[in-house]
Structure 1
Amino acid sequence: MRRTTVVAIAAALSATLAVAGCSSSDGDGKAAKKQAAPQVDGQSINAHPVSDLKQGGSLRFAIDQWITQYNINQVDGQQGDAQDIIKAVLPDLFDADAKGTIHANPNFLVSAKVTSTSPQVVTYELNPKAKWSDGKPLSWKDFQAQWKALNGTDSAYEAADTSGYSQISKVEQGADAHGVKVTFSSPYADWQRLFDPLYPAAYIDTPAKFNKGWSEKALVTGNSFKVGTYDKTGQTVTIVPDPKWWGDKPKLDSVVYRVLDSSAFTEAYLNKEIDEAPALQPEDYKRLVKAPDTDIRRGARWDEVHITLNGGHGPLKDVKVRNAVQAAINRAGVNESFSKDLSFDLKPLDNHFFMPNQEGYQDTAGEYGKYDPERAKKLLDEAGWKDAGEGKPRTKDGKKLTLGYTLSAGGTASQTDQAELVQQMLGAVGIKVDLQKVPANDYFNKFVNTGNFDITSFRNVDAVYQTMLTPVFIQPKGKNLFQNFGSVGSPKIDELLNKAAGTTDHAEAIKLYNEADVEIWKLGHSIELYQRPQIDAVRKGLANFGASGLADTDYAKVGWLK
């Protein structure tokens, strides 16, 4: 599971219709009963002690695109597959269990704790055995370099997220060579999400190294696995056990990541080319559930599907037009059109920060989450877009009201189906929508990350810390969009998010995040659709892996049963 400094984004191929469940039948034509969605701590990983695993074997995954940026703290590095690989090869200071509770990883940390509250000071004691692949020990200098790159004081560093780091006043050596002392200028509740994963100082200590040095390769590693090969021609990345690893020896000989269009995942699994495939969509589930030697594993993940609106250019710069789009899209209709064939009820999602099965969840959408085409028309009238008659786009100053809906060409037919539904709904109120398919390898880097779209749909995943979502909603600074790809924000939202991040009162933080979310809906930042649990087809005999829910995956403990 991805748990990083920034929230991971996942491709539109599964974002658009990879819904919260699987087929309503088990392949025999009989309708399955609707089940409750997995609980917040739900997971299915075929847990076993490592003594039950054989030594050797390979684990093969499909990924959505060739990885172009392995610095996940850089603006182009938030793609989820890159974050998965990096978490397997760089120091992973903290891990979460099935309930999302955070624990220090003893392979890297002897201890990590708040040692002062005024000011807030966090003291880390590093494992003396922990070393980078270049032979240098992990040290306070790595923490300092990462802080300097990510604290926002030097805009030459193209940082995806400065939150948390911007509240640190200094990073210095602790009691000895293995100690780190981090002092905050103001309290920061989610300090455990910082420096995780950790990057080596010598390879990120200048803007050039930080921005470009990790392009298409991980320069240095420091975990149980290292990168073995990058095969751009064959579109595979292979990680292998690092013989210098000081912890328990991994069971697998290799983990292979192979770029495939999402529409090919199921076929590749059935052909035994990969060992795991999403089984969320009915057409996939019906085939995968009958595959020999296959488990269907289910879990509850922080995983939301939404539609992003770009307020940075074109007609959507006007908040009334964005609000009109919100009112014109029947979210229940989009969801229901796909939930009829699923074994899980598909609940509407009315919050950007909390999942329905999570403490803090409440409906913050209000009127901005309601389907009301007449209100949409009224808002467009007020924005100066004149009705041109049924079936025709509205006009203003001689221009037609036209928006582009950007999709990945590597996506599924379901992705296109959702876009076509949105196209019809917006067309009914006088907004013409052109569907624009772009190459899968370019979808994030050249379109989403750069704000080069009007409307698009993807997922934010694994935001167990609410502060991970700060870069999604804060106002961009200059050309740095952070992760607010639609450039929709306000000083009020920034203020509420900063207050929430700075309070150590959990109930007060929840209140502030929900207050911020009310403003996010008002501004028409994005349209939430639903939470997506994990429904995965996994090879039988693969242990300690699958639908992990809120927990992290330790690849050193993943392997095949004897």
Structure 2
Amino acid sequence: MFKPLRAVARAAAALAAALVLSACGGSPDDGHDGAGRGAAPAVGAQGINPQPAANVRQGGTLKLSTQTWITQYNEYQVDGTNGDASAILEQVEPVLMPKDAKGVPHPDPAYLRSAAVTSTSPQVVTYELNPKASWSDGTRMSYRDFAAVWRALDGHDDAYLVADSSGYDQISGVARGKDDQEVKVTFGTPYADWQRLFRVLLPAGTIDTPDKFNKGWIQRIPVTGAAWRIKSIDRTAETVTTVPDPRWWGTRPKLDTITWRALDQPADTEAYLNNEIDETPAILPEDYQRLVKAPKTDIRRGARWDEVHISLSSRGPLADVRVRQAVDLATDRKGIVAAFAKDLDIPVTTLNSHFFMPNQAGYQDTAGRWGRFDLPGARKLLDQAGWREAGPGKPRTRNGRTLTLRYVISSGSASSAVDQAQIVQQQLGQAGIQVVIQRVPQTDYFTKFVNRGAFDLTSFRNVDQVFPSQLFSTFQQPEGAQSYLNYGRIGSSEIDKLMTEASRTTDTARSDRLYNEADRLIWAEGHSIELYQRPQILAVRKGLANFGASGLGDWDFTAMGWQK
């Protein structure tokens, strides 16, 4: 699930959304060659106009947009993975360990005095909470909140419809330390990425039953615990208004108000030019050409973890792995990337990994055969699967059925998403696969289609997955009705075993090797087709400080504001 997507531990978004992003990389022959273009942003690059507090005036309003009206604000729930929802949630709830520009988490002293591994056999992580930290209902934050998050997410009860149980399912206990504000988290097996857990702390009383967890955050945020609070959630105007919380014990926010207004992406540029919002994506050429000329506008760029892919399902004809593999081979990824990047001023290359971006240390080309355009190979696989040619330009058939796949896109999709669907339609048609493009209401795209696996093909983005273990549930084998984030329900026990081994080692080199071994199997299963790492290019109102293209880092909602 998502722009202004920010630091979203688990975020995915339709191509219509301008989510959090990452830098491009790879060799020129991996995709569009980027001749005559500037370099992609380096790792750690941000475009936020950093300013000390003394240079930022007190007061003012920041107007932001979301790509759809948000229904579920619990980002741990399967329907809550929309990045805009996470951005709002993380404005008003504790983000215990925000990430710096290079994606490294650090304890926020407003919430944590310390967080560290205090034992290795077994692994124990000790959190010491700031004694001033409290919820908006007056309850002090404590080990009980950690315990409630763990119990909801550890996978012991399928009534909790969780997006991701990985990591939490390796915890053997959460206990009180020397007092209620010291938390002892004990792991049954070593877990290297412990810093990604409990990223957003939620109050125990709002998630301690399946009903509260699943339904208590629908179109509401019941309790807050940050520098900001919810003033109103206006369903009619589709606007969320936030204001500083006078009970806040930390640094006072610079701004008086931050509003979030639901807009289809095609309307974002017009809204920005009409001064209705203060930030908008500028990645599409037709938008960039207008926004770069707009008065009092900065074009800000950052390096973010952001990938675009095509998801496949395991239903209908795609239940046969040979058909999924044929779709893979019949998809000319370089052609799709070239079409997307033709008017950008930075290079974009094909992405050959599900777990790593090209500018990450663990990156390898794990696609192998499945990353190469091979139309004859695709046709051979379809022959083997029993789908017979019906003549030039006609779809294949088997037992009187036509080989037809539904490519589901949001009605609010940007032009690049529509173009991509049409390119795939044309490419697969050459192999005898008929693709029907189905537009669905933007508000239903994730909740009724993607999250429910009601598609044959679709395309959205995974973002901010700086820790490879964050992608565990994306490729994890579903269990019964629980699909986690593996919407197409494609996986294997071998993939799960390798990912589990990778998450349980603290040896980074071995972990990277295991994730890459798992990825080779993911490609072979036809789970999804990686396309490219998306650059982060935003138009931001000139004078906005500590705000914009945050790259691998998080926004600081207390520091952003208008420059003096």
If the TM-score is normalised by the length of the shorter chain, which range does it land in?
over 0.9
Residue 273 in 1 paired to residue 243 in 2? Answer: no
Please state if 1:41 is matched with 2:44: yes
From 104, 126, 129, the counterpart of 1:123: 126
1:243 matched residue in structure 2: 246
Aligned identity (percent) is 58
| Superposed CA offset, 1:254-295 (max 9, x none) | 111111111111111111110001111111110000000000
- Aligned counterpart for 2:460 among listed residues 458, 461, 475: 458
Whether the 8 Å contact between 2:23 and 2:43 is mirrored in structure 1 is: no
- For residue 375 of structure 1, the aligned residue among 353, 366, 377 is 377
Quote how far apart the aligned CAs of 1:478 are: 1.1
Match of 2:392 in 1: 390
How far off is 1:20 after superposition?
A: 7.5
Aligned partners of 1:439 and 1:265: how far apart in 2?
17
CA distance in 2, matches of 1:20, 1:286: 21
SS in 2 for 1:13: coil
Change (3 A) 1:502 1:32: closer
Q: Which residue of 2 aligns with 1:511?
A: 513
* 2:201 aligned with 1:216: no
> In structure 1, which of residues 233, 236, 241 is the aligned counterpart of residue 236 of structure 2?
233
Amino acid of the residue matched to residue 156 of structure 2?
T
1:118 partner amino acid: S
Partner residue of 1:53 out of 56, 59, 62: 56
Give how far 1:33 is off: 3.9
- Partners in 1 of 2:244 and 2:22 — Cα distance? 35
Equivalent pair of 1:74/1:160 in contact (CA under 8 Å): yes
1:175 deviation in Å?
1.2
Counterparts of 2:274 and 2:22, CA distance in 1 = 24
How many angstroms apart in 2 are the aligned matches of 1:200 and 1:456?
Answer: 35
CA RMSD of aligned residues (A): 1.5
Q: Is the contact between residue 191 and residue 503 of structure 2 (CA under 8 Å) also seen in structure 1?
A: yes
Structure 2 equivalent of residue 25 of structure 1: none
- Flag the 1:273–1:224 CA change in 2: closer, same or farther, 3 A: same
Task: Give, in angstroms, the shift of residue 178 of structure 1.
Answer: 1.1
Q: 2:418 aligns with which of 412, 416, 419?
A: 416
Q: Which whole-Å deviations, capped at 9, do the CAs of 1:357-394 have from their partners, x for residues lacking one?
A: 11111100000010011100000000010111111110
The residue number in structure 2 matching 1:132 is 135
SS in 2 for 1:39: coil
Whether the 8 Å contact between 2:324 and 2:525 is mirrored in structure 1 is: yes
Checking the alignment, whether the CA contact within 8 Å between 1:188 and 1:504 is kept in structure 2 is: yes
Give the Å deviation of 1:477. Answer: 1.2
Q: How does 1:495-510 map to 2 (within 5 A)?
A: 495-510=497-512
Q: Is the 8 A contact 1:19 1:338 kept in 2?
A: no
Contact 1:393 1:402 in 2 (8 A): yes
SS at match of 1:95: coil
Is this contact kept in 2: 1:20–1:342, CA < 8 A?
A: no
Query: CA offsets per residue over residues 275-330 of structure 1, 9 Å max, x none?
Result: 0011111111100000000000011100000000011x111111000000000010
Q: 1:212 offset after TM fit, Å?
A: 0.7
Give CA-to-partner distance per residue, 1:509-542, whole Å, 9 cap, x none: 1111111100100000000110012100000000
> Residue 406 of structure 1 contacts residue 438 of structure 1 at CA under 8 Å; is this kept in 2?
yes
Counterpart of 1:394 in structure 2: which amino acid? Answer: R
Q: 2:187 aligns with which of 184, 189, 193?
A: 184
1:122-181 CA distances to partner (integer Å, 9 max, x unpaired)?
111000000000000000011111111100111111111111110111111011121001
1:410-448: CA deviation from partner (whole Å, max 9, x where unpaired): 112222111011000011111001010001111011100
Distance 1:192 1:412 in 2: 35
One-letter amino acid of the structure 2 residue matched with residue 389 of structure 1:
G
Aligned 1:56-75 pairs, distance under 5 A = 56-75=59-78
For residues 277 and 365 of structure 1, the distance between their equivalents in structure 2, rounded to whole angstroms, comes to 33
For residues 338 and 3 of structure 1, do their structure 2 counterparts lie closer, same or farther at Cα, with a shift above 3 Å needed? closer
1:339 and 2:347 aligned? no
Partner of 1:149: 152
Measure, in 2, the Cα distance between the counterparts of 1:454 and 1:220.
39
Q: CA deviation at 1:2?
A: 3.7
What displacement does 1:19 show? 11
Structure 1 residues 32 and 277, CA, compared in 2 at 3 Å: closer, same or farther? farther
Amino acid at match of 1:482: Y
Question: Which one of the candidate residues 491, 515, 529 is aligned to 2:531?
Answer: 529
The 2-side partners of 1:338 and 1:495 are apart by 36
State the alpha-carbon separation in 2 of the partners of residues 546 and 382 from structure 1. Answer: 51
1:430 maps to a residue whose letter is: G
Superposed displacement of residue 215, structure 1: 0.7
| Cα contact 1:19–1:281 (8 A) shared by 2 | no
Measured after TM superposition, the shift of residue 345 of structure 1 is 1.2
**TM-score scaled by length of structure 1:** 0.96
Q: In the alignment, which residue of structure 1 is the partner of 2:30?
A: none
Shift of 1:121: 0.5
Deviations 1:185-205 (A, max 9, x none): 000111111111011111110
Shift of 1:79: 0.6
User: How big is the shift at 1:14?
Assistant: 4.1
Q: 1 CA distance for matches of 2:283 and 2:379? A: 35
Q: Deviations over 1:30-84 (max 9, x none)?
A: x994011111111111000111111111111111111111111011000110011
CA contact (8 A) 2:349 2:533 kept: yes
User: CA 1:248–1:440 in structure 2 vs 1: closer, same or farther (change >3 Å)?
Assistant: same
Unaligned runs of 5+ in 2: 25-33
Secondary structure of the corresponding residue to residue 223 of structure 2: coil
Q: State how far apart, in whole Å, the 2-side matches of 1:502 and 1:533 are.
A: 32
Alignment correspondent of 2:205 = 202
Residue correspondences, number: 550
Rounded to whole Å, the distance in 2 between the matches of 1:174 and 1:515 is 39
Could you tell me whether the CA contact under 8 Å between 1:123 and 1:180 is conserved in 2?
Answer: yes
Partner of 2:475: 473
Q: 1:19 to 1:464 in 2, by over 3 A?
A: closer
2-structure distance, mates of 1:82, 1:541: 26
Cα separation, 2, equivalents of 1:128 and 1:95: 19
The residue matched to 2:237 in structure 1 has which SS?
coil
SS in 2 for 1:83: helix
Is 1:309–2:312 an aligned residue pair?
Answer: yes
Counterpart-to-counterpart distance in 1, 2:7 and 2:517: 25
Q: Does 1:259 align with 2:274?
A: no
Q: Which residue of 2 is the match for residue 28 of structure 1?
A: none
1:374 is aligned with what amino acid? P
Aligned partner of 1:360 in structure 2 is 362
Partner AA of 1:324 in structure 2: A
Question: 1: CA distance between counterparts of 2:387 and 2:61?
Answer: 58
In structure 2, give the amino acid aligned to 1:560.
Answer: W
Q: Which residue of structure 1 lines up, in the alignment, with residue 327 of structure 2?
A: 325
* Alignment correspondent of 1:163: 166
The verdict on how the C-alpha distance between 1:467 and 1:150 changes in structure 2, with shifts beyond 3 A counting, is same
* Counterpart in the other structure of 1:449: 451
Match of 1:554 in 2: 556
Q: Deviations over 1:430-477 (max 9, x none)?
A: 100101000111101110011111100010000011111111000111
Moved over 6 A (4+): 18-21
Single out whichever of 53-62 and 380-389 deviates more from structure 2: 53-62
Structure 2 distance, partners of 1:524, 1:14, is 25
Cα pair 1:230 1:238 within 8 Å, conserved: yes
Query: Hey, what does 2:31 align to over in structure 1?
Result: none
Could you tell me how far apart the structure 1 residues matched to 2:340 and 2:406 are? 23
Contact 1:15-1:305 at 8 Å conserved across structures: no
CA contact (8 A) 1:500 1:513 kept: yes
